[in-house]
Chain A
């Protein structure tokens, strides 16, 4: 359940095995196709989409510009409302905070709403090591938790599995007697099992989609009602959020909500939009007695320190970039071996885990730009990918990451240096052209740099004459 194995070699192996898994590829192709169509239908009015995303971007950009002030404002307003606010620089600190709260209340079981930050923290695993049961209550998260897997998508965690695979899992690991085979039957079974867990839970954990600084309100977007259960029924609610999730004003919420649900799943709105501003007051009959908010940095303030990389923090975690990524839709979410897969993962993970460990993810893109086109807050994902690729080899200007350097940085650096030298010197360039046209085809296809290409394709043959030569012979002028 940890990312310790994250490495370029493993990524390459897992990518190959995903590509050779026809079932997996069918599951993803069907799912991504459907999501793209649905999204397109709800953004049919192109002018509205452009204006709305312009507004969304400006809201998020303004929030980042004022981030420290807004966090302080959020903290002070939450405290006024009775919400207890905690700060954590690292995942370990955040986990320790959750554990301390849980132990203070003698918590034995925790129910969790879907939260990507808690995935970053690997909170379930951590709590279980300390003898506290932590159960995912979102149906997709529940399915993969019972099957000891990690989410393969940030919005639809069990998207890599088809119905029969899930039915098999329910039969083996949830209730062999129930014979739940259809999606309806399995959902009904999960409802029964999880209602009992909600009933018993001592503490609820949730994420936060938007936190409103001016009112101290935590907003949660969901369809299932598990988020409402986790934040209403148990006596203690702990919300975990990345520090970038704050927005300044309440009126920032409606445009972002609209962009989020439409981009994510093509829904005009989700079933529930839950706005939490305080713990239970003495006259109230339900809601948690204590609400805690944990603000997690985990590399975000480092991203914030750089003009371009800061734009990574505009993200509202809709997953549209993932749904539209030709790489993701072919290899699925698990090959990345990260909390955040797909395009957003390729820019977030190397910045959170360091280029040394995760820099290879920035290479796993054709830079087609489909992600940039659909991003509701206009994150320049391809620019950031290029920047990370650059910084991976050019240590001098490296981004302020905890660890940088990079995968095969020296070789790669040498290749790029030589390339730059040849292409900026006419004599060398001509020499290279002549050499390649005469001897290029002698290059053995088993050379390490060529092997990945030539293993599945025929080796390209070099033209006898270069374009320059042909142009000169045709008598065209240089102008």
Chain B
């Protein structure tokens, strides 16, 4: 990498020679802190923003979310569901499958490295994941992917079911970054997901389901 080293030295020394021209700019972040909603408003805001981009947001509670999930699974005809087996959600899903195998699809664990289970991921109907939190302003899910719920779960299967707890919804992305101090350390991959994949590259016609998931269903537990 000798070339790269000399390029590095040249670039940095050129940049250091530049006259310091820009005055230090005042940095007023008030505009980022202006948006604030009540808990109920945040739910509605997130729901309406996500629905505007084709996401199905199903409001439910701790008591009835299992029924909501069963209904979604039935509607979409999901026969196999990819899941992370070590999350808090996983135990509940396994119980559902055990208790009511007719209304709950087979659960498939993403337990091997992708190189050994590529076909599985490309063939499966759907994946279910937890989320870290949500963003009301833009209608986004925040995912910090983990070894148990890897990155491709929310990308390859055509349907992505995401479980979001209303209490975790932030007003803005700014608030999430600030509150959780993302500057102190980031995971291998963090994601904001705001709808199923989409494109408007053909004559600005909006089409959903281009490369990533075709359908995004959010179970929003209040």
Contact = CB atoms under 8 A, between A and B. Distances in A.
Interface of A: 30-31, 34, 48, 51-52, 54-55, 57-59, 61-62, 64-65, 67-68, 71-72, 86-89, 93, 96-97, 137-140, 143, 156-159, 161-163, 166, 183-184, 186-188, 190-191, 194-195, 198-199, 214-215, 217, 223-226, 228-229, 232-233, 235, 243, 249-251, 253-255, 257-258, 265, 268-281, 283-287, 295, 297, 301-302, 304-307, 310
Nearest to A52: B31
Interface residues of B, number: 81
B27 A275 contact: no
A55 B27 contact: yes
Given A55-B27, A89-B10, A275-B189, A195 B15 contact: no
11 contacts: A65-B22, A93-B7, A223-B200, A224-B211, A225-B197, A225-B212, A251-B174, A251-B178, A254-B177, A285-B113, A285-B114
A226 B155 CA distance: 9
Among B4, B17, B113, chain A packs the most CB atoms within 10 A around the CB of B4
A16 to B, nearest CB: 26
Contacts, number: 262
A341 to B, nearest CB: 17
Interface stretch (B61-69, B72-80, B92-100, B180-188): B180-188
A158 B7 contact: no
A214 B184 CA distance: 9
Contacts of A183: 202-203, 205, 207
A250 B189 contact: no
A55 B201 contact: no
Given A223-B197, A228-B151, A72 B32 contact: no
Given A228-B155, A249-B183, A284-B147, A271 B194 contact: yes
A171 B80 CA distance: 35
Contacts of B26: 58
A217 B186 CA distance: 8
B40 interface: no
Contacts of A279: 188
A432 B121 CA distance: 79
Among A52, A215, A302, chain B packs the most CB atoms within 10 A around the CB of A215
Among A265, A269, A273, A280, chain B packs the most CB atoms within 10 A around the CB of A269
Among A65, A143, A272, chain B packs the most CB atoms within 10 A around the CB of A272
B138 interface: yes
Contacts of A188: 209
Contacts of B198: 223-224, 271
B11 interface: yes
A195 B110 CA distance: 20
Given A183-B205, A301-B14, A276 B189 contact: yes
A281 B178 CA distance: 26
Contacts of B195: 271
A273 B192 contact: yes
A52 B35 CA distance: 13
A-B residue pairs, 5 tightest by C-beta: A225-B212, A58-B25, A140-B201, A51-B31, A183-B205
Contacts of A281: 147, 188
